[in-house]
């Protein structure tokens, strides 16, 4: 079991480290630009590729969507209570506590742990989280909410289109399938490299507060996942993916969005940094129980 977990987690860590050290060698890499590329092209292509080529049913995907929404909702509630109990300076700090890094780390980890079906479920889960980033996350950080961003989200459009193609068995020209296949291939390498580079760029100032937030995130995440599994009576691969995705560290996008809006980016950046670093310890433990 030890070597199985090592073979799953070590490739993720090594690629992230390559990105981290590349930041010291070459400062020209722009994580925000790469994030936009992945969010608008790579992830939609990966969602289409993984969902339309899977053997999973519509009902399983609907359960995954509901699970992702509930993970975000409970993450907000638990995070809000944590912030109030410990009298932290702003509820804007809740964004890294409610958004797991289901894209940068969750997708590749589920692929290595559970294969192509795990990838399909993880991509569906991550698409809901991605929509939340550009709606709920942005609204909390900036104070402005746009319903238009929900319907114009490339991840959501790709998700709906893929579900319709799967449900109605709509034939798609082979060349379009090949385009989606090529574009989907950029997603996992880029998000892992971007994660490492972003970690290298984070200015860690609120160390004590960031450390406590990071530890909270890694503790609350698995608990929320278990609650969702119990409430929805999930089983098998679906339950494993939900637990693993819920256990991810704080999403790097919460820091990028906070930086754009000058919304407690030091605290959020420190939370992202420490939760990601210590996930190298927590995630192998989670994998031990879900494999």
Is the pLDDT reported for residue 217 higher than 80?
A: yes
Chain centre distance of CA 42 = 14
Task: Enter the CATH code of domain 2-200+209-290.
Answer: 1.20.1530.20
Mean of pLDDT over the chain:
91
The rounded distance, in Å, linking the Cα atoms of 199 and 249 is: 12
pLDDT at 30: 78
Question: What are 75-120's pLDDT values in tens digits?
Answer: 999 999 999 999 998 899 999 999 999 998 999 999 999 999 999 9
Least confident of 27-31, 128-132, 141-145: 27-31
* Residue 285 neighbours by CB under 8 Å, 6+ apart: none
Chain centre distance of CA 114 = 17
Q: Is 262 left (phi over 0), alpha (psi -120 to 50) or beta?
A: left
The rounded distance, in Å, linking the Cα atoms of 201 and 227 is: 35
pLDDT at 97: 97
What is the Rg, in whole angstroms, of the alpha carbon atoms belonging to the chain?
A: 18
Euclidean distance between the first and the last CA atom of the chain, given in angstroms as a whole number: 9
Per DSSP, the three-state class of 189 is helix
Is the pLDDT reported for residue 206 higher than 80?
A: no
pLDDT at 72: 98
Q: Are 116 and 197 in contact (CB under 8 A)?
A: no
Which DSSP category does 173 fall into? Answer: -
pLDDT over 70 percentage in the chain: 100
pLDDT at 216: 97
Q: Which residue has better confidence, 255 or 1? A: 255
pLDDT band of 251, cuts 50, 70, 90: very high
* Residue 57 neighbours by CB under 8 Å, 6+ apart: none
Is the pLDDT reported for residue 262 higher than 80?
A: yes
Q: Which pair of tokens denotes residue 117?
A: 């079906």
Q: Which residue has better confidence, 265 or 41? A: 41
Is the pLDDT reported for residue 150 higher than 90?
A: no
pLDDT band of 198, cuts 50, 70, 90: confident
As to burial, measured by CB atoms within 10 angstroms (0-12 exposed, 13-18 middle, 19+ buried), residue 228 is buried
């Amino acid at each position: 079991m030890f070597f199985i977990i090592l073979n799953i987690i070590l490739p993720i860590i090594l690629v992230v480290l390559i990105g981290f050290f590349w930041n010291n060698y070459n400062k020209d890499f722009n994580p925000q630009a790469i994030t936009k590329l992945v969010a608008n092209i790579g992830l939609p292509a990966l969602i289409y590729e993984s969902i339309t080529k899977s053997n999973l049913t519509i009902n399983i995907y609907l359960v995954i969507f509901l699970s992702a929404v509930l993970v975000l909702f409970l993450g907000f509630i638990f995070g809000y209570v944590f912030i109030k109990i410990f009298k932290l300076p702003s509820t804007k700090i809740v964004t890294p506590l409610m958004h797991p890094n289901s894209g940068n780390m969750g997708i590749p980890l589920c692929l290595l742990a559970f294969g192509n079906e795990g990838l399909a479920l993880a991509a569906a889960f991550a698409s809901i989280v991605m929509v939340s980033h550009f709606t709920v996350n942005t609204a909390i950080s900036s104070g402005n909410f746009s319903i238009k961003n929900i319907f114009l989200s490339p991840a959501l459009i790709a998700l709906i289109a893929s579900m319709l193609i799967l449900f109605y068995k709509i034939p798609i020209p082979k060349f379009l399938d090949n385009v989606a296949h090529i574009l989907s291939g950029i997603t996992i390498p880029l998000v892992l490299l971007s994660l490492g580079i972003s970690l290298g760029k984070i200015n860690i100032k609120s160390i004590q507060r960031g450390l406590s937030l990071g530890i909270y995130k890694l503790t609350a995440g698995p608990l929320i996942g278990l609650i969702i599994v119990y409430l929805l009576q999930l089983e098998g691969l679906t339950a494993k993916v939900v637990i693993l995705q819920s256990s991810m560290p704080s999403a790097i996008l919460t820091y990028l969005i906070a930086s754009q809006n000058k919304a407690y980016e030091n605290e959020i950046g420190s939370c992202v940094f420490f939760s990601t670093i210590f996930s190298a310890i927590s995630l192998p433990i989670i994998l031990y129980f879900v494999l």
